[in-house]
Amino acid sequence: MERALAAMARRDWHRLVVVGGSPPLHHELRALVGKRIDLRLVDGTARRTAHDAAHDLAWADRIVVWGATLLDHKVSQLYTDRRSPKVVTVARRGLTALAETIIKTAE
């Protein structure tokens, strides 16, 4: 995750939204990130609205939709249907896959 945070810093990205992921992964991610960036974690199984997603999109520098985790299609669609360059998807589980996607899309 250190390399992902460094890649975000090089792009001057300070706000990350992660959509999906399990509670243990959210806890681990928060611990790794600390206060170095503003992190918003979206429960992929909870009710979200288009207004919530629009607010996240306006706030974030990058939104990562974590597809291979706890994530309802109706939640992911709120983000992916917007076709924003801020929104990227991760098709694999694990923090390594999340970090690799952030690095790749920041370069």
> Rounded mean pLDDT of the chain?
95
Specify whether the CB–CB gap between 102 and 77 falls below 8 A.
Answer: no
Residue 95's contacts (CB-CB under 8 Å, 6 or more residues apart) are 1, 25, 28, 29, 32
pLDDT in tens, 43-91: 999 999 999 999 999 999 999 999 887 898 999 999 999 889 999 999 9
Global confidence as pTM: 0.94
| 3-state secondary structure (DSSP) of residue 73 | helix
What average pLDDT does this structure show over 9-27? 96
Domain span at residue 23 reads 2-106
pLDDT at 69: 77
Residue 41's contacts (CB-CB under 8 Å, 6 or more residues apart) are 17, 18, 21, 26, 29, 30
Give the number of domains in the chain. Answer: 1
Specify whether the CB–CB gap between 90 and 44 falls below 8 A.
Answer: no
pLDDT at 47: 94
pLDDT at 52: 97
We report the CATH number of the domain holding residue 47 as 3.40.50.2300
